[in-house]
């Protein structure tokens, strides 16, 4: 059996949550960063989202992986797979089947969920050295163990949950962990018809709405707050200028929320909206230019047959210092 490497000390995690919530709830407009969706329940809700008819990204990325896993194996010759924001690791099995791996390092902030997923994978792949790491990939990248011929996978379109400045910082930091033989496998959702995009983030069963409200439950539990999640409506809108979906929580009426751990009282006006997530959608040219700016060259760019989702294999630029 393996041990989980834990870089998320509870006091540091609380401190980070405190700082994010304090800054986010006192800013105008109010915002909350998406990484706090993912306690156990949030991770389960996300997995439920991936099975919804409206939520096409997971199915489309799975189709690309199924079609290209052999090519990914032969082009990269990867022996080590580091997966950032691994979640359930369900699609990853397509890579585990195709690659000739020694080591798999799934990394996630959602520690219990990560451990459970890693245990299942270790049982299914007894020859594989599975080393789960509970960490924040925006803070702990340099401490994440690697290995020879490393492929870093960042799937699901999670890169779109960062604003451009954060993406650049993150992609550059990943680049700094790569040797000349290593690579980055990046899943990114593509710009498409607005109606389909909005439907994917506002499903008929209300699973995404529950996922969105879950951030309030996390804050209640960890920061002694008294949000009434049902007093906020789920909103998903397409921001055409920035080419991203915005998820927001809209206050039903005027309300006051107390966050005990911050000694903070927050007032919401009727219909006031708080942004909880962006999910950027890309055009291929933009992906390429962002990757180049962060020190990569594009080795391969694949999409599913409908052109909905993309998977890019990027290599470190040779002349990059």
Q: Which stretches of the chain bind ligand SAH, using CB under 6 A?
A: 35, 38, 43, 46, 50, 58, 85-87, 91, 108-110, 136-138, 155-156, 158
Residue 249 near residue 243, CB atoms below 8 Å: no
State in angstroms the smallest separation of the CB of 173 from ligand SAH. 12
C-alpha–C-alpha distance, residues 271 and 252, integer Å: 6
End-to-end CA separation in angstroms for the chain: 39
Show contacts with ligand AVI in window 224-283 (CB under 6 A). 277, 279
Q: Tokens at residue 130, please?
A: 């599975």
Q: Which is nearer to ligand AVI, 161 or 312 (CB)?
A: 161
Contact call for residue 108 and ligand AVI (CB under 6 A): no
Using the contact rule CB under 6 A, the part of the chain among 18-26, 154-162, 285-293, 308-316 near ligand AVI is 154-162
CB of 310 to ligand AVI, least distance (A): 13
Q: Are strands 273-280 and 244-251 parallel, antiparallel or unpaired?
A: antiparallel
Identify the bridge partners of residue 189 per DSSP, sorted by sequence position.
309
Contact status: 310 vs ligand AVI (CB under 6 A): no
Q: Does 183 bind ligand AVI (CB under 6 A)?
A: no
- Residue window 33-62: x/- pattern of binding to ligand AVI, with contact defined by CB under 6 A: ----------------x-------x-----
Task: Give 262's contacts (C-beta < 8 A, 6+ positions apart).
Answer: 18, 21, 22, 223
Q: Minimal distance in Å, beta carbon 63 to ligand AVI?
A: 16
How much of the chain is in helix, strand and coil states, percent to nearest 5? 40, 25, 30
């Amino acid at each position: 059996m393996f041990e989980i490497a834990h870089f998320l000390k509870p006091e540091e995690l609380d401190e980070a949550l405190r700082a994010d919530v304090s800054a986010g709830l006192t800013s105008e407009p109010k915002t909350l960063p998406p990484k706090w969706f993912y306690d156990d329940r949030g991770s389960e809700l996300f997995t439920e989202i991936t099975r919804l008819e409206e939520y096409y990204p997971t199915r489309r990325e799975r189709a690309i992986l199924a079609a290209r896993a052999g090519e990914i194996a032969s082009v990269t010759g990867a022996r080590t797979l580091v997966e950032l924001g691994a979640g359930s690791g369900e699609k990853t099995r397509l890579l585990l089947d195709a690659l000739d791996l020694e080591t798999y390092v799934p990394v996630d902030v959602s520690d219990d969920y990560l451990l459970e997923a890693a245990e299942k994978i270790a049982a299914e792949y007894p020859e594989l050295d599975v080393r789960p790491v509970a960490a924040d990939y925006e803070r702990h990248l340099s401490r994440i163990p690697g290995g020879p011929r490393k492929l870093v996978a960042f799937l699901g379109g999670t890169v779109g949950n960062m604003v451009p400045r954060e993406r650049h910082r993150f992609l550059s930091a990943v680049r700094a962990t790569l040797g000349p033989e290593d690579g980055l496998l990046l899943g990114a959702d593509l710009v498409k018809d607005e109606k389909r995009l909005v439907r994917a983030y506002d499903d008929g069963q209300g699973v995404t709405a529950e996922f969105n409200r879950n951030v309030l439950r996390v804050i209640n539990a960890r920061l002694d707050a008294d949000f009434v999640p049902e007093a906020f409506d789920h909103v998903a809108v397409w921001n055409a200028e920035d080419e991203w979906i915005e998820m927001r929580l809209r206050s039903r009426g005027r309300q006051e929320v107390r966050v005990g751990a911050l000694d903070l009282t927050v007032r919401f006006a009727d219909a006031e909206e708080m942004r909880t997530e962006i999910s950027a959608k890309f055009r291929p040219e933009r992906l390429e230019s962002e990757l180049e700016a962060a020190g990569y060259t594009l080795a391969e760019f694949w999409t599913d047959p409908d052109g909905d989702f993309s998977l890019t294999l990027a290599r470190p630029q040779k002349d990059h210092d």
